[in-house]
A and B are shown apart, each in its own frame.
Chain A
């Protein structure tokens, strides 16, 4: 090979690579199948969250729909689902590009959202531009109303930090009124977007409800040692310990509280408390621990969902966002059945229709799911919902929590 031709080859290589990249994607959808694409974190720091809440539910749902013969269309025909999945490597830039790829290269019929608040916000402008409805489940943000207005086909389904914090304060106020706990609260929060949202809402709410914050500190993401913090909490005289934490910190603080014998009457932790692994983490002493989320454990639809999830995935779902994720997929399925795959019609139906899901009858308000459980508590082997207390299916909170 002459030097020149080798050079030409070198120059042509990048172009050839680009075109082979384009071709390597599965060929455009055939008529009989519905292609559904998603990009989630399968490696990197977000892989853990996505692996617990998002991916198992996508797999469960796709498996079930295909086992039933496929996704039902308005004319009653069924089309099998073909999945295109990408790994976003926990990077916003890779995620954005994967969505561009799904929308313009693979031209998938539907796109399911990624895991995490950051991820859902990063793709929202693109989903809007390409016209896909976005059922953002694992995104907790107080700005959900603004976003729903900004991107008309986006749906925000997990509330905001404000909701969770004020509901917790309400629950604790009720206990304070009843005289079961004193008016002192020790509060810690993880220094990331989630922890800050919650703590910002909780501070004024606690004060308004007549609580005194005797300890209020934040700690950096990645902290694994809580011994010093717990030492101070124990000496603070607070009956209530509130940690707006993130796993694995939620687990670390639990383990160390157990061994140090820190036994506040209320023990509340953030994300991770509703995970099935929490029972193992606490060595079976989870009774009475409060956290975010919860499910109506007595509801047969939920019980059935837990059983199917356990059987198919090999582990029970978490009791916060998992059921909501699954419900969002049921909504999508039902909406497709009613109006087909046209994105505008789908978005309209999701926005205005009401749907039968594992969460019960669901109807979005201003493109947001508001029928959520804000505070839950471990009672027996279930993480049951305790707030809003007036909603059907809520359990009465057990305060004080039994000792570890």
Chain B
């Protein structure tokens, strides 16, 4: 009950922030909410299974594209519904055919998938519809977009928390530790992985769909920007992909840091970003949360062991 109360108050607080922070602050919140949701959704599947997916932008881009194609035909809520449906169907097809790949093969496969989707959409637009750039003229300001993302983000974290407590979450953690053991203990490997993959991909698709109206003009090279995939992975790993709050703790500081770097050092952004990355790998190997816990551990006499399990 207490947790629910705290959650309600913080969500309430977060949702009035745009009124306090002004336009730029709201822009920051949009980016923050977007990446927190992406990273959490990513970690929902990739955390327990340890499948590093670079297909984030494939779903993100499909969501954005759906909005671009349908925004003049259907009312907005229906457009979002369509986007979610398309994302889920695509994830189902991809999941059914690929989740038996493992390790680096899955990593590269997921990257190839993003590129393939981009190429196919381009080809279709060029040869069938004969337009490539599409316009989104929806009357949605940064504030409305932020609220939608916030709602989605809250649902995502809620869902992730629920999954962790359910049989499904337990099953997945066994899979991540040892697939053979998991199979022997009667876990339906394929189905468990598939369910999570579809859930995670659907959320990612929705993030793309909700953010798209910010850009007005959409073409494949804009929405299928591989940086989105990479940043999502990094943020989730920085925070700790196996923890509920890990992705959030990775996404928030990294996002703000990127913003600060690109404003302060526009000419040397990539160098600093790269150095920062390496610093994370060498100094915070298990993510921020684990590092904080490491600080706490000596005082709590190993009481945090259950949290790491």
Contacts and interface: CB of A to CB of B under 8 A. Distances in A.
Chain A residues touching B, majority SS: helix
A109 B256 CA distance: 25
Given A118-B222, A221-B221, A14 B215 contact: no
Interface residues of A, number: 50
B217 A122 contact: yes
B119 A220 contact: yes
Contact of B211 (A14, A24, A93, A103): A93
Given A90-B225, A104-B24, A121 B130 contact: no
A24 B260 contact: yes
Interface string B245-274: 000000011001001101110110110000
Interface string A72-104: 000000000000011111111110111011011
B135 interface: yes
Contacts of A87: 262, 266-267, 269
B130 A17 contact: no
**Contact size range, B:** 35 or more
A92 B227 contact: no
B72 interface: no
A92 B214 contact: yes
Contacts of B125: 196
B126 A122 contact: no
A117 B217 contact: yes
B256 A21 contact: yes
Contacts of B217: 117-118, 121-122
Interface string A181-201: 000000000011101100010
A221 B118 CA distance: 11
A3 interface: yes
A22 B22 CA distance: 11
Contacts of B262: 86-89, 94, 98
Interface stretch (B25-33, B87-95, B106-114): B25-33
Given A18-B25, A87-B262, A93-B214, A193 B122 contact: no
Given A89-B262, A117-B133, 20 more contacts: A13-B253, A14-B252, A17-B253, A44-B227, A86-B262, A86-B263, A86-B266, A87-B267, A87-B269, A93-B215, A97-B24, A97-B30, A117-B217, A118-B222, A121-B216, A124-B216, A191-B132, A192-B220, A200-B130, A220-B123
Interface of B: 21-28, 30-31, 34, 119, 122-123, 125-127, 130-133, 135, 142, 211, 214-217, 219-222, 225, 227, 252-253, 256, 259-260, 262-264, 266-267, 269-270, 292, 296, 299
Interface of A: 3, 10, 13-14, 17-18, 20-22, 24-25, 42-45, 85-94, 96-98, 100-101, 103-105, 117-118, 121-122, 124-125, 141, 143, 191-193, 195-196, 200, 218, 220-221
